[in-house]
Amino acid sequence: MKFDSHAHGMHAPLDPLTEKRVPPVVPAWTTVDGPVEPHIERNRAMGIEGVLLLDPPEVTFPLKELFGDFVYHCPMVRMHESSREEILAIIERGANGIKFIAPMRPLGDEEYFPLYEAVRDAGGLAVFHTGYQNRNSFDPGGFLARPKYLRITDSRPAEIDRISRAFPDLKILMAHMGNPWWEEAFCVITQSPNVFTDFSGGSAVRVDMDCWKHLFAPNGKPSVKALEKLCYGSDASMCHPGVFEHQFMMDFYEDFYSALGLPAELREKIDRGNIRSLLGLD
């Protein structure tokens, strides 16, 4: 079984004139869509025991209430507007941590340190989007618009390295393994005891498997120190009625395991053990 460390459940309406998604962002599943149990059962039959949702709080809290123990959540916040008080309130309300994405400054800027300190003090998980960011969501005019255009270098893995140095006891999940700064991310996870990462999204699957073998098993010798810092993550829509789009990521991870010849106990850590530990479930 796998526990998806990077999932979504939000919906934004489509503007028929521009054919772009527009606010407001809402849960993809509501009570009018019927019971969630068949959807959960099908996901578990496919090998997904649970998911971590990383959407705004107005999406994640209602979905947590509907989906029960299938859903855990680290709601995203608007970093340039957020505060220690908001972070603590979200976690005290029942969230498992916070998702940090689309900053207006580098993620490692000390202006954001009070936010990270709050997650640490609350015992939560800090999930950081790293690397490339699509153009349709967070840029001005997007359905999750920020006040200025994003600079993807503000979210490089090197920024996570600075955060991990300042907060060595903060639990960190570096989403997307820093795409396209894979080697930089590799260095961070091997040198930072509190940083984990995932292959979520559509980019890692398009990289030739030989590249992953060279990175994680140089000269044919698997780097256990790096491999044991991975989590299974899809970046798929996991709480949308009738949508089951994560099989491609499950296949990618299985191909990765086979290509490197990983033992069952290491696969288990990546598939579910690491993220469950980060969430305090085990």
pLDDT along the chain (282 residues), means of 10: 98 90 95 94 98 98 98 98 98 98 98 98 98 93 95 98 98 98 98 98 94 96 97 97 94 98 98 98 94
Please state, in angstroms and rounded to a whole number, the distance separating the CA atoms of residues 254 and 164.
Answer: 30
Chain-centroid distance, C-alpha 194: 16
According to the model, what pLDDT value does residue 19 have? 86
Cα 221 to Cα 137, 166, 210: the distances in Å are 40, 32, 13
The two structure tokens encoding residue 103: 């900053």
**Which pTM was predicted?**
0.98
Quick one: pLDDT at residue 244?
94
- Mean pLDDT of all residues in the chain? 97
pLDDT given at position 278: 98
| DSSP letter for each residue of 135-152 | TTTSSTTSTT--SS---G
Which residue, among 177, 273, 166, 275, has the nearest Cα to 226 in the 3D structure?
177
Tokens of 22: 């527009």
> What pLDDT does residue 173 have?
99
Cis geometry, peptide bond prior to residue 180 (ω within 30 degrees of 0):
yes
pLDDT at 189: 98
Domains of the chain: 2-278 (3.20.20.140)
